Chains A and B, each alone.
Chain A
Amino acid sequence: MFEIRIHSRGGQGGVTAARLLALSAIHDGKYATACPFYGAERRGAPIVSFVRIDDNPIRIYSQIKKPDMVVVLDASVMDVVDVLNGLKKGGKVLINSAHPREFAGFSSSHADLTGIALRENLVVAGSPILNTPVLGALAKMGIISVDSAKKSIREMFTDERNVKAAETAYREMSA
């Protein structure tokens, strides 16, 4: 089983990112579940979502304590949340950042998701949309296939800019 924890702020699309990621894994022929942790969420507050991917049906409902991978959609949550908490030794970190970030002991990757969203003019209510470009980055990292990522995005969004943003992230990210 591959377990992923996604850190974001309420309203940034972390829950939708989890849903798209799970749906992409299902399109890849795997089993997947996605669940947000529901507390007293409001826009702007740090939140976490969980995704599990496996070759067999997933029977676990409790929260992910020792993820294989952590995705940070908003680096500013690191001021208030230990995003590496419980991450397995050598686990993967994907951070939304224009510049490389090193996390000692972990396999660190970065993608400029905000920059891509702004370039594609993917902005809703003043906030860049991160949940579709992040799928391109996750595909580049081999978590899901790029075809399944595009298929999932098209099932949820009619605006092709979302697919383009994922393609850009896939193309520009250094694997």
Chain B
Amino acid sequence: MKKIATGNKAVAEAVKQIQPAVIAAYPITPQTEIVEQIAEFVSSGELKSRYIPVESEHSAMAACIGASITGVRTFTATSSHGLLYMHEMTNWAAGARLPVVMANVNRSIGPGWNIWAEHTDAMQERDTGWLQVYVSTVQEAYDTTLMAFRIAEHNDVLLPVMVNLDGFSLSHIMQPLDTVETGDFLPPMYLPHAIDPKNPAGYGGLTGPEQHFKFRWDIERSMRDSVKIIDETEKDFANRFGRKYGFTEDYQCDDADVVIVSMGTLGKEAEVAIDMLRREGVRAGSMRLRWLRPFPKLNLKGKEIVVIDRDYSFGFGGVLAKSIQAQQKTDVFSVIAGLGGQEVTYEDIADFIRKRRIGEEFWFGVNDHV
């Protein structure tokens, strides 16, 4: 049956399909609908998970960690200040090598108090050892949540995965959704270091200077190995269900002189800007970055590069722009746009490309040259 669903509902539908053993979550705008829908599924019996309505996000992640280390599937969802509140525990989940899956509905950080889309919340988690993926449609939110469990649990990865969707612009938009039966797409979870509660053991004891760095390196080794696992998983998903994704979604990039790089819903709207520019004779393309961690090798050689950051690292620059500049060893035009839900249309995006000034940074709505 053809369905229509919001981004939030799509995530909840994916979780229902996966049937994690334990879900612990705390509601926060604009993620609330995920938690509500999951609670309804649990209440109706469609979702057989143990649902723990915890008193805070810190506890939500702690509960997922405690459950996950017994070798079972866990899920949580949060946003913005909720994500920051669980920061200590997000580090712990990655360090303890637990394949927790979390949906994060991207929202700005206050003050000023603002509930709309921005990527700064997830960016502040980018060095924790979590894999991070950013989606742009309701269908992609559903599909990627399904894939996240398989990638996280693969024994060459064993790291948590954060699925990011833009607050309101994706979490609350209603679009068509095809749901699938996953069948054996997701193999049974096997956690090699699982604790048997009947035969308890402890993890995370004092680790001396002669050992600690080995654990850190092991996270990085798995992060590098995850590239292959992500690729395999996405290919298998495409074979089974007919929808293909990838590390980036490239639109008209092959013959492009200039490529605009962005994430989330802006990356989808950018395609409409590219269609406009192509009609004007401008050879432009759009590259929508899906996976931020592991950060993929981007195929941008010989192109002029424009980057939209829906985030900012104060005293440094747009996180994406700086990362791409370093990887490509070339200057880019860095656009800071969409902070706190700032309206950015495809016409604005076309203007960013038309009026690019390689090597410079531009805050949309602050300077007045676009």
A interface residue numbers (CB < 8 A to B): 18-19, 22-23, 26-27, 31-36, 38, 58-63, 65
**Nearest chain B CB to A170's CB is how many angstroms away?**
21
Q: Are A34 and B268 in contact (CB under 8 A)?
A: no
Q: Are A31 and B176 in contact (CB under 8 A)?
A: yes
Q: Are B2 and A22 in contact (CB under 8 A)?
A: no
Is B4 part of the binding interface, using a Cβ–Cβ cutoff of 8 Å?
yes
Q: Are B174 and A33 in contact (CB under 8 A)?
A: yes
**A61 contact from B30, B170, B176, Cβ within 8 A:** B170
Q: Are B174 and A34 in contact (CB under 8 A)?
A: yes
A-B contact pairs, 7 of them (CB 8 A): A32-B4, A35-B168, A35-B173, A59-B271, A61-B268, A62-B346, A63-B343
Q: Give Cα A19 to B116, complex, Å.
A: 21
Residues of B within 8 A of A31 (CB): 176
Interface residues of B in 227-271 (CB under 8 A from A): 265-266, 268-269, 271
Is B272 part of the binding interface, using a Cβ–Cβ cutoff of 8 Å?
yes
Q: Contact size class for B?
A: 20 to 34
**A35 contact from B2, B174, B271, Cβ within 8 A:** B174
Q: Are A19 and B344 CB-contacts (below 8 A) given A27-B2, A60-B272, A61-B169?
A: no
Chain A residue with Cβ nearest B349: A62
Q: Are B174 and A18 in contact (CB under 8 A)?
A: yes
Residues of B within 8 A of A27 (CB): 2
Chain A residue with Cβ nearest B175: A33
**B345 contact from A18, A33, A62, Cβ within 8 A:** A62
Q: Are B173 and A38 in contact (CB under 8 A)?
A: no
Q: Are B173 and A61 in contact (CB under 8 A)?
A: yes
Q: Give Cα A27 to B3, complex, Å.
A: 9
Residues of B within 8 A of A61 (CB): 166, 169-170, 173, 265-266, 268-269
**Nearest chain A CB to B299's CB is how many angstroms away?**
22
Q: Are A62 and B172 CB-contacts (below 8 A) given A23-B4, A34-B4?
A: no
Chain A residue with Cβ nearest B271: A59
Q: Give Cα A38 to B115, complex, Å.
A: 9
Residues of B within 8 A of A59 (CB): 268-269, 271-272
Q: Are A26 and B176 CB-contacts (below 8 A) given A60-B346, A63-B343?
A: yes
**Nearest chain B CB to A23's CB is how many angstroms away?**
5
**B4 contact from A26, A62, A65, Cβ within 8 A:** A26
**Nearest chain A CB to B323's CB is how many angstroms away?**
24
Chain A residue with Cβ nearest B341: A38
Q: Which 9 A-B pairs have the closest CB atoms?
A: A62-B345, A34-B174, A35-B173, A61-B265, A23-B4, A61-B169, A59-B268, A33-B175, A38-B168
Q: Give Cα A126 to B27, complex, Å.
A: 30
